[in-house]
Amino acid sequence: MLYADIVERETTWRHVVALESVWLKHGFPFSYYVDNHSIFRFVERRDSIWMKHNLKTDESDPQWKQILIECSVKVNYALSPQAKGKIERPYRWLQDRIVRTCARENIRTIEGAREVLAYEVKRYNNHQVHSVTGEVPVVRFENAIQGGKSLFRPFKVPAPYESTKDIFSIRDERTTDAYRKISIDGKELKVPGVDSYERVELRMIPDEETGLTEIRFWHNRKLVGTQKVKSSELKRANY
């Protein structure tokens, strides 16, 4: 298990954080195998709010999927719970152990449950012999890397971007007005070095500790400026 966490609410940003944690440590994976949750996939008639559906399934890419496409990581979708059997079994086992441990030790907080999760993941990865492979998971993983059988490849920030912040971010686009400003969620922001009525790409990185979101402005494949605003003022920072 390369990443595991317990959060109060599942959001796009929490999944972006998970991508960052795994990719910076292990590199780009070959592909992700996920279900059809709206965070991973746009599905016609489920995700559209309009009676007339102009977009078909996969004609719009959610934030999470945009990151994978930009980094050339494939996405495969399981079409049923049964199709994810190999994934669901260990997670169901892990969930059962966490629930029972928390009940037995009277753990009532997310912080306490996280400690139980961290212990169980460490035990699973480093000590438990897998029932199918007959090997300890971390040993099998390391042997695959040393034997050149791993599908991970080195992480590198794709051009023209300069920082991991540009990759692990919430994205949007805006057009500057006559005053060279853009408006996002009702908040006007000055964009330096960009003429009026020009398209600007936004890369937004929320910081949960400070409560601020850094917005990085890109225009014509160049970083033209950054600005920090309160995350509470941006709906997109709370995806």
* Paired residues of 175 in beta bridges: 199
Residue 132 pLDDT level (bands cut at 50, 70, 90)? confident
- E-state strands within the chain: 31-34, 74-77, 170-175, 181-184, 187-190, 199-207, 212-219, 222-230
Task: Name the one residue in this structure whose structure tokens are 């460490």.
Answer: 122
74 and 141 belong to one structural domain: yes
**pLDDT at res. 204:** 96
Domain assignment present for residue 33? The answer is: yes
**pLDDT at res. 234:** 87
Q: Would you tell me the crossing angle of helices 63-70 and 12-26 to the nearest 10 degrees?
A: 20
Domain assignment present for residue 60? The answer is: yes
Q: How many structural domains is the chain composed of?
A: 2
pTM: 0.86
190 and 92 belong to one structural domain: no
62 and 139 belong to one structural domain: yes
According to DSSP, the β-strands at 74-77 and 31-34 are parallel
The angle at the Cα of 17, spanning 12 to 18, to the nearest 5 degrees, equals 95
127 and 209 belong to one structural domain: no
Domain assignment present for residue 3? The answer is: no
Domain assignment present for residue 151? The answer is: no
118 and 82 belong to one structural domain: yes
Query: Given a cut of 60, is residue 175 above it in pLDDT?
Result: yes
The most distant pair of C-alpha atoms in the chain lies apart, rounded to whole Å, by 66
Average pLDDT over residues 177-196: 93
The alpha carbons of the chain give a radius of gyration, in whole angstroms, of: 21
Q: Look at 55 and 135; give whichever has higher pLDDT.
A: 135
**pLDDT at res. 128:** 85
179 and 107 belong to one structural domain: no
For 149, the token pair is: 């059988």
Q: Which of 146, 172, 188 is the last residue of a domain?
A: 146
122 and 184 belong to one structural domain: no
For 36, the token pair is: 């059809």
Give dist(CA 76, CA 97) in Å, integer: 29
Computed over every residue of the chain, the mean pLDDT equals 89
- 52: containing domain: 12-146
114 and 74 belong to one structural domain: yes
